[in-house]
Structure formats: structure tokens, C-alpha cells
Amino acid sequence: MSESGEQNATSVIVEKLRGWNAKAVSEVIEFHGETTVVVPRELLRATAEYCRAELEFNFLSDATSLDRFPVEPRFEVSYHLVSIPKKLKIRLRTKLSGADPTVDSVVPVWPGAGWLEREIFDLMGIRFNGHPDLRRILLPSDWEGHPLRRDYPTEGFRDVPSTYLPAFKKQ
């Protein structure tokens, strides 16, 4: 399908979403041929269910998160959906504040979200309500902190200085 044809098809999808619930679409971002629909967090699971059941987005390709610290709302959770019958892609996104980074899990909609959401919980510290098995997955269960947050240091371990710092090397 050509780029413009794809654009038309996704704008039809966005219109259908608006027609279903005008509150579900708080913003639409078009960037380099990718359509992002920003959804209020209360409506995320309902929108996801509508996308899967009515709009044929049957394949959850990826789920990921982003931290814009110190800008508020700092977290973004994105779900990349693929419609295998329609050959279309769309991204659902919800924004979360640093004070309360929780959102409804989409595991009841796509079971494949299970590990993807566990990874986000583990590395970014976002909690998913209704997730059947929300545990750390890549890091040990007693790990403190969430390394992919922007305020978590890349080098060094929490308050211990990095071995690359000159002060540490001298000792």
C-alpha cells in the first residue's frame, strides 16, 4: 500500500475511534507516516479492547515506555498495534505523571502484553493494574530502583561513585 493510502486508512481508524468515544482520542500525532493516538489513561483498556474487537488490531507488536524527566507528565507508555487482516499499524499512547505511574494492563486484551509490561514495570517502574503476574523479569527480584528512568545514573551504582571518576581511581 502506498504511503498516502496508508495515511487515509489510518485516519479512517482515528475517525472510527472518535465516533466510538470522543473522549478516547485526546490527541493525534502524525510523524513520518506513523499515527499515534494519545488516550487518557482511564480509557486505555477500553480503547485497546475496541481496537482489537472492532478495528481488527489483533496483533500487539510491541509495548514500550519513555521517561521525559523532569517534564511532567514524565512517563509515556506506547503500544504498537498491527492489524494483520488490514495490514495497518497504529500506536496507542497514554501519559502518566511521576507521582502516580499506574495504568490499566492490556493483558486481558492481548495476552502477549504480559512480559512486555513486566519489562516496563521492571526497568521503568510503571505499575499495571490487573496484570496477572507483575514481577521483575530482567533484574533480580531484590533490585532497588528502575534503571531506565532518566534520574537513574548510567555509571556507578546509586550513591556509590563510578569507577570511571578520577577520585575513585586514586584510592
- Distance of alpha carbon 161 from its chain centroid, rounded? 32
Contact flags string 1-30 toward another protein, x per CB under 8 A:
------------------------------
Q: Report, in Å, the least distance between residue 168 CB and another protein.
A: 18
Instruction: Based on the shown chain and the rule CB under 8 A, indicate whether residue 154 belongs to the binding site for another protein.
Output: yes
CA distance 165 to 122: 28
Instruction: Candidates 78, 98, 127, 161: give the one binding another protein (CB under 8 A).
Output: 78
User: What does each C-alpha distance from 10 to 16, 28, 58, 79, 125 come to in angstroms?
Assistant: 10, 11, 15, 15, 31
CA distance 17 to 48: 10
Which residues are at the interface with another protein (CB under 8 A)? 31-32, 34, 36, 58-62, 64-68, 78, 80, 84, 87, 89, 91, 110-116, 119, 123, 137-140, 147-148, 154
